[in-house]
Amino acid sequence: MTPGTRCEQIVEFTTQSGTRRRIRFVPHPSNDTQWQRIEETWRDQQWRLVGQDTVGNVDHWTRPA
């Protein structure tokens, strides 16, 4: 991996109802400026697709709450 290599970004969380969910941003295989946003939910001991679309300009940062 090089410094310019784009890596998959993942956010996992549990809703108030107890459902485990995650959103993944996966580098688009044929476009260096786009990502696949994949939303999934944990059911039956595996991740299940809820929806996906193509997005651009994914920024990743954190800040104190």
| Any domain includes 64 | no
CA distance 42 to 49: 9
- Structural domains of the chain, count: 1
Could you report the per-residue pLDDT of 4-34, keeping only the tens digit for each? 788 899 999 999 999 999 999 999 988 888 9
pLDDT tier for residue 1 given thresholds of 50, 70 and 90: low
The C-alpha angle with vertex 28 and arms to 24 and 31, in degrees rounded to 5, equals 150
Within 13 Å of residue 46, how many CA atoms lie on the same side as its CB? Answer: 2
Alpha carbon distance 18, 16 (integer Å)? 5
What does the pLDDT look like over 29-48, one tens digit per residue? 888 889 999 999 999 999 99
Q: Is residue 30 domain-resident?
A: yes
63 domain-assigned:
no
For residue 15, being part of any structural domain is answered with yes
Q: Is residue 28 part of a domain?
A: yes
Contacts of 60-64 with C-beta under 8 Å, sequence gap 24+, read: 60/9
Residue 2 domain-assigned (yes or no): no
Range(s) of the domain holding residue 22: 9-56
